[in-house]
Structure 1
Amino acid sequence: MRQPNKKLRLPSLVGRRKKEGFNFIKEKVWRKLQGWEGKLLSQVGREVLIKAVIQAIPTYATGCFKLPLGLCHEIETMIKKFWWGQRGDKRKIHWLKWDELTKSKLEGGMGFRDIAMFNDFLLAKQAWRLLKNLESLFYKVFKACFFPNCTIMEAKHTSGGSHAWNSILNGRDVLLRGCRWRIGNGKAMSIWQHHWLPRRHPPQVLSPMVDTLVDAKVTTLIEETSRQWNHEMIDGIFTPLEAELIKAIPLSWCEAEDSLF
């Protein structure tokens, strides 16, 4: 089978058959494990090789592209077999599930990396760069091509987008689940849709939605002249618990913009 052309050790073109395009990662992992299989390695030795070598192999690719889940699972299957000392077709008992092994050692696991989850983390980091590093060449190129009239947070998935762009949007969606809004002037934040309440969970408003304020921004709740919360309005809209949370949020005296953190 003809291998896809590569640039900077990554496929220059990713088509519909994405798994085949990234199979070179699995083959590289397989070659490394085959070279170690016949050696008498202790459990500690296997752990060091898995963490320092095997799990480092996909890192460059996972920082640029969303890898197919099937490929991630196949790589993890090879790692599991190596960890439990399986050689060739001779089966070994797997005493713990992979989900347990990926937990921290403080939680009874081994601290191995969940490849798919780490992939999402690295792509979220790229999306964060597009949100914060507005002077970089990376931002200027992607801004002009994919989201010229909005920020990365409002950008839409398109059928004509490259796999690299769609991968970054996957990371953006991870950010949207975990980011919180810091209130400036309240003009960018929707009262009902965005995560802005200062509590761990849930960070969005749960009070019943008011029909006349469905699309209202948080700035609606702030008195323009005094830059203070409109206590009467807040008490009339939100549940007592959420009203107290909102009124306790400090407001800036200047016209600072809302920001994600």
Structure 2
Amino acid sequence: MACILLPLSLCDKPNSLSRNFWRKGNPEDQGINWVAWDNLSNSKEEGGMGFRNYRAFNEAMLARQGWKLVMNLHSYWARVLKGIYFPNTSFLHAARGSRASWAWLSLLHGRKLLKKCLRWQLQNGRNTDFWEDAWIPSLPGFKISSTEAPSSTIEKVADAIDPRRGTWDKQKLAGEVTTSPADRSRTNQMVILNPLSRLTKKYGSVCGK
């Protein structure tokens, strides 16, 4: 369950057993659906009963595997996957490929959830995509709302930083985006130029440790 995307029918079976036990106890009874099962599967903080949704649990485990792949890229299994599927890019930007295994497709499925849990903690910005990555805490979704122009000279966040001063190049930004991240980001006055930018989790409960 932690490495492979299970078929819906296989996840629905334990969900059905839990649902029937809660609603009628006796298998011979018809039972009454007092509350929608999706609501009962919510956490107690959200008004539910905290019953496990095995489909969602499977997806969460795959997202956690993706997080391990991102954070342990020098491990043997990560190097093998990188050599086969994304030798020239990162896991977060890797394509499906023409001969993808089910294990790889499962990781890509979990990546959708993983991306919702991540943002970049900006430092030098050299490995942070200016347009696609989530990196601005004060913006919805942590992303630039403007679309990239075909003639854009900004690809990475570092491209929008004055290398001599370590601050935003506001003149370049003014011609690229409608809402300047220099005005919205808390990193306006201080950008660290040595360490690489790194990924951090917005929500720790989904992706695990």
TM-score by length of 2: 0.81
Does structure 1 residue 183 correspond to structure 2 residue 122?
A: yes
* CA distance in structure 2 between the partners assigned to 1:145 and 1:117 by the alignment: 28
Q: Which runs of 5+ in 1 are unaligned?
A: 1-61
Change (3 A) 1:202 1:151: closer
Does structure 1 residue 153 correspond to structure 2 residue 153?
A: no
AA at the equivalent of 2:69: L
* CA distance in structure 1 between the partners assigned to 2:93 and 2:179 by the alignment: 32
Counterpart residue number, 1:78: 17
Structural RMSD (CA): 2.5
Contact 1:123–1:172 (Cα < 8 Å) also in 2: yes
AA at the equivalent of 1:101: L
Q: Cα deviation per residue 1:20-51 (whole Å; 9 max; x = unaligned)?
A: xxxxxxxxxxxxxxxxxxxxxxxxxxxxxxxx
Counterpart residue number, 1:134: 73
* CA distance in structure 2 between the partners assigned to 1:92 and 1:228 by the alignment: 65
* CA distance in structure 2 between the partners assigned to 1:211 and 1:141 by the alignment: 35
Change (3 A) 1:207 1:143: closer
From 180, 183, 204, the equivalent of 1:244 is 183
Counterpart residue number, 1:67: 6
Counterpart residue number, 1:105: 44
From 120, 124, 133, the equivalent of 2:59 is 120
Counterpart residue number, 2:196: 257
Change (3 A) 1:242 1:222: closer
SS in 1 for 2:18: helix
Change (3 A) 1:70 1:195: same
Counterpart residue number, 2:145: 206
AA at the equivalent of 1:176: K
Question: Which is richer in helix?
Answer: 1
TM-score by length of 1: 0.67
* CA distance in structure 2 between the partners assigned to 1:106 and 1:186 by the alignment: 37
Question: How far 1:236 sits from its partner (Å)?
Answer: 5.0
Q: Which runs of 5+ in 2 are unaligned?
A: 201-209
Q: Which has the higher contact order (CA 8 A, sep 6+)?
A: 2
Contact 2:24–2:32 (Cα < 8 Å) also in 1: no
Of residues 117-126 and 206-215 in structure 1, the stretch that sits farther from structure 2 once superposed is 206-215
Identity %: 32
* CA distance in structure 1 between the partners assigned to 2:86 and 2:133 by the alignment: 20
SS in 2 for 1:213: coil
SS in 1 for 2:151: helix
Change (3 A) 1:238 1:148: closer
From 173, 197, 210, the equivalent of 2:112 is 173
| Number of corresponding residues | 199
* CA distance in structure 2 between the partners assigned to 1:64 and 1:230 by the alignment: 44
Q: Computing the radius of gyration over CA atoms, which structure comes out larger, 1 or 2?
A: 1
